[in-house]
Amino acid sequence: MDLAADNQQLLINVNNVSFRYDSVPVLEEVSFHIHSGDFLAIIGPNGSGKTTLIKIILGLLEPTQGEVQILGKALSEFSEWQKIGYVPQKATHFDPFFPVSVREVVAMGLLSQKRFPGRTRKEEEELIQKALEQVGMDSFKNRRIGNLSGGQQQRVFIARAVVNQPHILFLDEPTTGVDAETQGHFYDMLDTLNRKEQITIVLITHEIGIINKHVNRVACLNHRLIYHGTHQEFCRSEAFKNMLAGGHHLISHRH
């Protein structure tokens, strides 16, 4: 029982979720909670069901068993998707010749929610500007996104995900292919979003090295939930020792 979680709002409740691709089991009876203020890392080997779990929470896949509640509502009844931000795996694998500016990418997250289009209102422009400033990309807003580096593109996608000022932000392996120094800055930026902007962060990662410095909770997945709790307990747990023994990817961050 985690006492800290008692004072926090329950944002997401994953209850006994299982999922199969055809007859292959990917997730089996996974249950856990995400509370406001959490910076949760979901870790586990390749093919352990991490991305599938996130997709089920976001309503992109339907579980074969169990249910997910977001902000107290079952997925089928939940409609406030602007409160959820998402940066998918391989977000930067888009067509580099796609003629879209950084500002337009961020605006997608905000303006696609509008029922009737029209000129962007002043307050909408301010939200776009704020999101770009939060990720340190405001000076790039008129650049074509295909002309930026992978790390810069990833920041723009985070700006798009936070432009609606979401309660919770999901990131699926956001630093794949990004160099170690850029990764360090990247995780500092996520820290700021978590602590200053009060955005709950759920991060799928292979990098156990970031756990000590950045996250406060860990969910370790290998088809089943092997561990879920604070990062301090995780570092002392059998699950952690087993992952290290299995040669899991370790990256240390120096700042």
Q: Which residues bind other proteins (CB under 8 A)?
A: 58-60, 79, 81-82, 84, 86-88, 91, 94-95, 97-101, 104-105, 107-109, 111-114, 116-117, 142, 144, 157, 160-161
**Nearest alpha carbon to residue 70 among 4, 3, 152, 12:** 12
Residue 10 or 61: the one with the smaller Cβ distance to other proteins is: 61
d(CA 222, CA 45): 7
DSSP 208-245: THHHHHT-SEEEEEESEEEEEEEHHHHHHSHHHHHHHH
What's the closest the beta carbon of residue 242 comes to other proteins, in angstroms? 32
Residue 2 or 80: the one with the smaller Cβ distance to other proteins is: 80
Residue 95 or 238: the one with the smaller Cβ distance to other proteins is: 95
What's the closest the beta carbon of residue 116 comes to other proteins, in angstroms? 7
Residue 58 or 251: the one with the smaller Cβ distance to other proteins is: 58
What's the closest the beta carbon of residue 19 comes to other proteins, in angstroms? 17
Please give the distance of CA 124 from its chain centroid, rounded to a whole number: 23
What's the closest the beta carbon of residue 95 comes to other proteins, in angstroms? 7
- Kindly list the distances between the CA atom of residue 208 and the CA atoms of 41, 54, 249, in Å, as whole numbers in the listed order: 9, 19, 7
Q: At what angle do helices 122-134 and 102-111 cross, to 10 degrees?
A: 120
What's the closest the beta carbon of residue 26 comes to other proteins, in angstroms? 18
Residue 8 or 94: the one with the smaller Cβ distance to other proteins is: 94
Question: What radius of gyration do the chain's Cα atoms show?
Answer: 18
